[in-house]
Amino acid sequence: MTKLSIVIVNWNVRDLLHKCLASLRVATKNITTTLRCSEATATDWRRTAEIYVVDNASTDGSVEMVRAEFPEVILIVNKENKWFPHANNQALKEAKGEYALLLNPDTVVKEDALEKLLGFMANHPETGLIGPKIIYPDGRIQDECARELPSLSGVVFSLFGLKRLFPKNKLFAKEVLGGWDHKTSRYIPAISGSCMLIRTELIKRIGFLDETIPMFYEDIDLCQRVRQAGFKTYYLADAEIIHYAGQSARKQSSRKMIQALEFPAYQRFFTRHYPATALFMFNLILIAGSALRIMFIMPVWLLLSAIGKKSNEFSLETLKKYLIALKIGLS
């Protein structure tokens, strides 16, 4: 009997994936007693948890490393980058566990984290989805691990820079529950896709991750659908993982171009879950916010180009990002 299916999507982060899988070897050994799984013992943890690694055409030796050092892992190798939602769904469709854990490869799971997450789910049937406290390697809490659902006001505060200027403000940083220290457990609207535990039967019933957008907001969309199905989402501060944050995206030739995917993802979320009037207002806000950013960035880029500064590349990529956003808003 398998209680837990762990799904990890990897793209060229071999060393971090190694750390992640090594941490899971320890963490999964602690869940047998909690789950009262009669078929598993402390030394036979593989019956309690199955681990899927879906590799999106890595070229850094990730596949070879997994095969050589973690033979217990179920490896799915894609010949091209299928992106995050599709790759997760490949494993979720095969998952045999009562629970499914979606986990980023650039994470380290603390020894007792899985035990605590699963223990809470087992005792709270109204909870369909749960996430841990996520911290950076230096110990800071990653605020995005517990958040609100997207809103028009949140888009305004983000695009016009108020969220960045006032990251702890209850109003301007409302999408990451600004003003709250994330040190206590509570029911919340949404959690981060870096680490989320869901009942497998539930995700198979409400539908897998949305594959219409390559990345961004597929986790928030899942949280919304869990809520619509009548279940709650919980943030468990007592369980912790370390997240190195965005290592796969950093390997792309242009981080800003990857970030630009957030805009159509946001647009897709509004299309799927909100009235047409909200989508119309979102597009207006996106046009206005992007135009304002372009007005500020364009002179900086022209100045840096004129004096031949190497940092001009960053300004150019940022400019391209908001030009893409403007085009999306006008489309």
pLDDT, tens digit, for every residue of 6-65?
Answer: 999 999 999 999 999 999 999 998 775 444 443 444 444 445 899 999 999 999 999 999
Reported as a pLDDT band with limits 50, 70 and 90, residue 1 is: low
Reported as a pLDDT band with limits 50, 70 and 90, residue 180 is: very high
Determine whether 54 is exposed, middle or buried from the number of CB atoms within 10 Å of its CB (0-12, 13-18, 19+): buried
pTM of the predicted protein model: 0.89
Beta strands in 96-213 (DSSP E): 99-103, 107-109, 127-135, 146-147, 186-187, 190-191, 195-199
50 φ, ψ (degrees, to nearest 5): -115, 140
- Percent pLDDT > 90 in the chain is 70
Dihedral of CA atoms 12, 16, 20, 22 in degrees, nearest 10, equals: 110
Amino acid 274 reads Y
Sign of CA dihedral 132, 136, 141, 145: negative
Q: Looking at the predicted structure, is the pLDDT value of residue 297 above 90?
A: no
- Other Cβ atoms less than 10 A from the Cβ of 137: the count is 10
Cβ contacts of 199 within 8 Å, gap of 6 or more: 98, 99, 100, 121, 128
Query: Can you read off the two tokens belonging to residue 231?
Result: 């279940």
> How many Å apart are CA 199 and CA 202, to the nearest integer?
5
If one compares 310 and 175, the residue with the highest pLDDT of the two is: 175
Q: What is the mean pLDDT of the chain?
A: 89
pLDDT score of 298: 87
Across 57-78, average pLDDT: 97
Q: Looking at the predicted structure, is the pLDDT value of residue 299 above 90?
A: no
If one compares 128 and 158, the residue with the highest pLDDT of the two is: 128
Dihedral of CA atoms 168, 172, 176, 178 in degrees, nearest 10, equals: 30
> How many Å apart are CA 145 and CA 110, to the nearest integer?
16
Across 282-306, average pLDDT: 89
pLDDT in tens, 207-261: 999 998 777 889 999 999 999 999 999 999 999 999 997 655 555 445 555 667 7
